[in-house]
Amino acid sequence: MAYAFSHVHLKSPDPEKTANWYVKAFNFKIASDTVRTFGDRFISCETTDGIVINISNARTDEQLGTGDATAHWGLEHFGIDVDDIEKEIERLKTLGAELIDWPIDVPNGPLIAFIKAPDNVRIELLQLSR
């Protein structure tokens, strides 16, 4: 059987606010915005290269734990390539992101940094060329 990556799903107490942040921060496009029969608002976004990022709040009677932007087991972060990591860090900070880990020069690899985005989401920024 062939497998294909489908999507990433983020939970947020305010899906519209969160989706709009990603639109401003990374040029996501909002593809759909509905309220599902489960009682949650479900916003489907796409990255500029077609990756689907779904954002929703809690379903009716669903109890959610807190977000965690620190390094942890399980799905820990997702990465986004940027042209100029220093400029992107400063721009994203003006949008409310918090720098968690300063740019790290990976030997024979990219320059990387981690930010805390809305709802305690951990995002890795990668500058591949220098």
Task: Give residue 2's pLDDT.
Answer: 85
CATH number of 95's domain: 3.10.180.10
Task: Look up residue 55 and give its amino acid.
Answer: I
Contact call for residues 25 and 117 (beta carbons, < 8 A): yes
Domain count, the chain: 2
Residue 104 belongs to domain spanning: 78-127
Residue 70 identity (one-letter amino acid): T
Residue 45 shares a structural domain with residue 85: no
Same-domain status, 90 and 52 = no
Q: How many beta carbons lie within 10 A of that of residue 25, not counting itself?
A: 20
Q: Are residues 51 and 83 in the same domain?
A: no
Q: Provide the whole-model pTM.
A: 0.92
For the sheet containing 29-35, what is the strand order?
Answer: 7-11, 52-56, 41-46, 29-35
pLDDT tens column, 67-123: 999 999 998 999 999 999 999 999 999 999 999 999 999 999 899 999 999 999 999
Is 20 in a helix, a strand, or coil? helix
In-domain check, residue 51: yes
* Residue given tokens 């939970």 in the structure block: 11
